[in-house]
Copies of this chain bind each other. A is one copy, B any other.
Amino acid sequence: MRTDVHRFGLIDPGDVSGLRKAIEGGYVKPKEIVAVIGKTHGNGLVNDYTRGYLMMSLSQLIGGHTGESAQSVCERVPFIFSGGVEGVLSPHYAVFTVSPDKSKADGPALAVGVAFTPPLLPENVGRQRQIDLTAAAVAEAMSKAGIASPADVHFVQVKGPAFTLADIVEASERGLSCATDNAGKLMAFGRAASALGVARALGEIDPARADESLVLKDFDTYSSVASVSAGVEIRTNEVVVIGTSASWTGPLTIGHALMSDPLDIGSVVQLARDLGFTAEPQIPSHQAARIRAAFVKCEAPRDGMVRGKTHTMLNDGDMDQQRHIRGAVGAIVASVLNDTALFVSGGAEHQGPDTGGMIAVIAEKPGAGAELLVS
């Protein structure tokens, strides 16, 4: 088996012409699509409808070619979109395909597996049930991906449900309290609990610490490979596990690194070099063509400081803290990778070290192709 990653620019969440042309040209077989991860135009907060719009657009395009209903496509394929392309970031989506490959494996290659939890209700978000179901889904996806060891997992993307105020009120009318009555804050609870689920599934933390009492409290407990988003357009936790496996083939690989704080450009440069790039500090354009996708989690430091100086992200009533931090960290990563089509997602609760975050990059192995074509 072999995984490929095809990345397309996005003019508008209703414009899926990139994938359409790739399907029509035979480059992507719609039945082989197993996941789509992307970055859309909205604000990335509760009232961001660009994620649902793109999910609708893509599921119909794919279903139109496979004969599935749009809803069936959504049940089979995780569509994980994060809103917010602040600053230099560029809206895009990366399509993951899995296809049979008879060529002989040449060392470990990119491997992917997906799984879904059962539907979650508002009152489950941020609670033990979300932790437990997520952990089970990660284990299932890892198993499907044939990834032997947690050490070979480099990125676990989870997309969980967000709920509006109306949903929270409705739960309350059913006699059930949510973790918070603030819709935006509930998204944070969901990201946090899901991250703890990932950490437990991968053995990153003592299982006893994957407990709802630690959610949004003990930030020293975290996963190094989890990236969690939330959106109103879905009702389950969708899980995509990405790593490397000797039983897969193809030219792609993946690496990841922790970022200790928003200014930790050194970790980004080091990761680029580990993946065989010449980053001095910027990857030259002909090499950057090897990059297939990159994922970043980040967060405005809770203590109001970056390297000993105050930041204003948490006091700004006009511009949400997530829009601030995505724009900042996204630009730093883009300046190293020489690529702006990055999946940069705010809200890194329990995803990487507190005040920092994590980055994962999928790229062709050095010498595997694109960069030679250019030179």
Contacts and interface: CB of A to CB of B under 8 A. Distances in A.
Interface string A275-295: 000001110010000000000
Contacts of A49: 12-14, 41-42, 49-50, 53
Nearest to A335: B265
Contact of A87 (B13, B165, B313): B313
A89 B316 CA distance: 13
A257 B12 CA distance: 36
Contact of A304 (B165, B313, B324): B165
Contacts of A315: 46-47, 164-165, 183
A47 B41 contact: yes
A211 to B, nearest CB: 21
Interface in A292-334: 303-304, 306-307, 309-320, 323-325, 327-332, 334
Contacts of A331: 87, 262-263, 327-329, 331-332
A105 B323 CA distance: 48
14 contacts: A9-B310, A44-B317, A50-B53, A52-B53, A53-B56, A87-B327, A87-B328, A90-B309, A92-B309, A164-B304, A265-B336, A306-B340, A328-B330, A328-B331
Interface of A: 9, 11-14, 41-50, 52-53, 56-57, 60, 85-92, 164-166, 169, 183-184, 232-233, 262-263, 265-266, 269, 280-282, 285, 303-304, 306-307, 309-320, 323-325, 327-332, 334-336, 338-341
